[in-house]
């Protein structure tokens, strides 16, 4: 499912430690989306490394908080569920 880029900014992150990574990813994604994607440049995603760091942080927080993830579909380049 695709969410408009500005919608992503209103979502909180699952772990407080991940908040700054989320902000960095949101800024990177919004810049790429507005300056490249909407203008037809479908080239390399410059935010993938930032996303991986944020995703790893969220997965760690999910594990630490013992949040059940069975049946949840993960997004992004690494679609694996957090390791148990």
Per-residue confidence at 84, pLDDT binned at 50, 70, 90? Answer: very low
Interior/surface letters 57-75, b for 16+ CB within 10 angstroms, e for the rest: bbbbbbeeeeeeeeeeeee
With a cut of 90, say whether residue 50 has pLDDT above it.
Answer: yes
Banded pLDDT at 67 (limits 50, 70, 90): confident
Give tens-digit pLDDT for 2-36. Answer: 444 444 444 567 778 899 999 999 999 999 999 99
Q: Is the model's pLDDT at 38 over the cut of 90?
A: yes
Domain ranges of the chain: 18-65
């Amino acid at each position: 499912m695709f969410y408009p880029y500005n919608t992503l900014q209103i979502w909180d992150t699952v772990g407080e430690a991940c908040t700054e990574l989320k902000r960095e990813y949101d800024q990177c994604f919004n810049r790429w989306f507005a300056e490249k994607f909407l203008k037809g440049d479908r080239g390399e995603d410059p935010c993938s490394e930032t996303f991986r760091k944020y995703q790893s942080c969220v997965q760690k927080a999910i594990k630490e908080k013992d949040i059940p993830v069975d049946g949840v579909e993960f997004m992004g380049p690494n679609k694996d569920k957090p390791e148990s």
